[in-house]
């Protein structure tokens, strides 16, 4: 081996040693950087999941405050006092609630029963089952624009592959559940592409899915509807009449029975909203709407604070209480005379109290005039034109030109009144319509109507 060869080997070995040393240092530096990045990634992921968990907890507390606070309270109780004391406390509270329900069912249902029942039905019935019912009844929106992922592989055996995703389905969200003695009110938020009429058309199918007799839909907001399920009928048996009040009666809130929601039905006979029109199919119970307030104000009629006039074209409906009517008309001519007498009394009161008082007091000298008009359609549609025009003109005069402070109130009833379904901001439910579709009811102002 010559000197030249030995020198080349020596230089090569030295160069290789330098390269190995540099690579070693570089590897250690890269390893340190990788460890730092890995630690940062772990910290970042932990912080991300922590923030996400905190956000989820805040969302649950805001959207479901009672359930969230209950879970927190139970967890704190288990941590501090153990499960045995928790079981004993729950049993004691359940026994107290059961005793309260046995002693006073009305107050229990008002203060505790509705809350517990609403919570139970929300989480045990409607949250897990209602989405499936809505989808089965065609109340879900399917995303038809399904994306297709195309993969191009130039070296593989399969050059082009397509991955078609499953179509998405959007289902309305349950926002609130309120359970009363007989009805469950489930507020549902519509998804884009739906309208309230879609739910109304599927009401019968929803009732079958819930296994109840009735289901009705109410529009609460432009994108929120209330799907109401009737669990039991509180009006299956007649509502007993309350004891008549002998003291002063509030004519702005006259008791007229019970609603199908188990609440007292109060109707105004004086003040705003006292002019009423009752519409419904045959056998719907329109007469009870007319007679129930009259029974409640019997003492005021006896004391001559309320004077009732009756217009009965058929001569049958109001004849049962003929003795309580100050004026009574059957024929079209008698109806015109009765309305003329009311208009004359109205004009006399205006002349007497104009410039003296703002509201005419209800006294025996100036009683509240209440007009019960049964089957108004018989006189405004099915009689001769001249008489029809006279009755229409006087009826409009009584309603429109009569200030509400002059104590003249007109209550109309018709079995075939011109009522058509239309959106209306304040709902007034009819008794029973032959049409199954209605959200809000609006009185149509057509020929012969005021």
Helix (H) or strand (E) holding 310: strand 306-311
Mean pLDDT of 44-63: 87
Residue 199's alpha-carbon distances to 31, 213, 377, in angstroms, are 63, 17, 33
pLDDT of residue 210: 94
Q: Where are the beta strands (DSSP E) in 144-273?
A: 148-152, 160-164, 169-170, 173-179, 183-189, 214-221, 224-230, 254-258, 264-267
**What is the overall mean pLDDT for the chain?**
79
Stretch among 92-106, 225-239, 268-282, 420-434 having the lowest mean pLDDT: 420-434
371-386 confidence digits (pLDDT tens) = 888 877 777 766 777 7
The CATH number for 254-443, chosen from 3.40.50.1820, 3.40.50.720, 3.90.1200.10, 3.40.50.300, is 3.40.50.300
pLDDT > 50? residue 402: yes
> 411: Cβ–Cβ under 8 A, 6 or more apart, which residues?
275, 276, 278, 290, 370, 371, 372, 373
Predicted confidence band at 174 (pLDDT cuts at 50, 70, 90)?
A: very high
Predicted confidence band at 317 (pLDDT cuts at 50, 70, 90)?
A: confident
104-230 classified as CATH 3.30.980:
yes
pLDDT > 80? residue 212: yes
Q: Which residues in the chain are classed under CATH 3.40.50.300?
A: 254-443
Phi, psi of 431 (to 5 degrees): -65, -60
pLDDT > 70? residue 444: no
Stretch among 88-97, 308-317, 334-343, 394-403 having the lowest mean pLDDT: 394-403
pLDDT > 90? residue 260: no
Which residue's entry shows tokens 């002998």? Answer: 246
Identify which of 229-233, 318-322, 394-398 has the greatest average pLDDT: 229-233
Stretch among 307-321, 355-369, 426-440 having the lowest mean pLDDT: 426-440
Q: What is the DSSP string of 258-286?
A: E-TTS-EEEE-SSSTT--EEEE--TTS-H
pLDDT of residue 145: 54
Q: Which residues in the chain are classed under CATH 3.30.980?
A: 104-230
Q: What is the pTM of this model?
A: 0.59
| Residues forming beta bridges with residue 174, ordered by sequence position | 188
pLDDT of residue 27: 84
């Amino acid at each position: 081996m010559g000197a030249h060869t030995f020198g080349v080997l020596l230089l090569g070995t030295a160069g290789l040693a330098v390269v190995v040393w540099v690579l070693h240092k570089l590897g250690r530096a890269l390893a340190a950087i990788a460890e730092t990045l890995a630690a940062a990634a772990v910290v970042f992921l932990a912080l991300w999941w922590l923030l996400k968990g905190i956000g989820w907890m805040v969302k649950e507390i805001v959207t479901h405050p009672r359930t969230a606070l209950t879970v927190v309270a139970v967890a704190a109780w288990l941590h501090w006092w153990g499960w045995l004391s928790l079981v004993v406390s729950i049993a004691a509270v359940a026994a107290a609630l059961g005793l309260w329900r046995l002693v006073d069912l009305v107050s229990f249902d008002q203060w505790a029963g509705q809350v517990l029942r609403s919570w139970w039905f929300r989480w045990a019935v409607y949250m897990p089952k209602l989405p499936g019912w809505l989808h089965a009844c065609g109340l879900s929106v399917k995303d038809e624009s399904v994306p297709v992922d195309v993969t191009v592989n130039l070296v593989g055996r399969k050059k082009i592959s397509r991955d078609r995703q499953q179509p998405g389905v959007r289902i309305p969200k349950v926002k609130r559940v309120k359970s009363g003695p007989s009805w469950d009110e489930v507020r549902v938020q519509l998804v884009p592409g739906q309208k309230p009429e879609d739910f109304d058309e599927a009401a019968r199918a929803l009732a079958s899915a819930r296994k109840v007799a009735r289901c009705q839909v109410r529009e609460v907001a432009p994108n929120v509807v209330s799907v109401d399920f009737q669990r039991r009928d509180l009006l299956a048996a007649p509502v007993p009449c309350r004891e008549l009040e002998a003291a002063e009666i509030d004519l702005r809130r006259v008791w007229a029975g019970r609603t199908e929601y188990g609440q007292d039905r109060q109707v105004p006979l004086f003040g705003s909203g006292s002019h009423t029109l009752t519409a419904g199919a045959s056998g719907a119970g329109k007469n009870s709407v007319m007679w129930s307030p009259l029974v409640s104000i019997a003492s005021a009629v006896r004391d001559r604070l309320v004077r009732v006039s009756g217009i009965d074209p058929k001569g049958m409906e109001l004849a049962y209480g003929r003795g309580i009517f100050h004026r009574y008309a059957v024929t079209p001519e008698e109806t015109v005379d009765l309305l003329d007498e009311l208009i004359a009394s109205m004009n006399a009161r205006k002349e007497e109290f104009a410039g003296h008082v703002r509201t005419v007091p209800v006294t025996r000298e100036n009683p509240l005039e209440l007009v019960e008009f049964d089957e108004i359609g018989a006189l405004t549609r099915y009689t001769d034109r001249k008489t029809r025009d006279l009755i229409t003109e006087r009826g409009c005069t009584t309603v429109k030109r009569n200030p509400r402070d002059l104590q003249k109130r007109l209550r109309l009833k018709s079995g075939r009144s011109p009522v058509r379904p239309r959106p209306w901001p304040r709902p007034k439910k009819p008794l029973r319509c032959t049409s199954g579709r209605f959200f809000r009811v609006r009185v149509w102002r057509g020929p012969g109507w005021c």
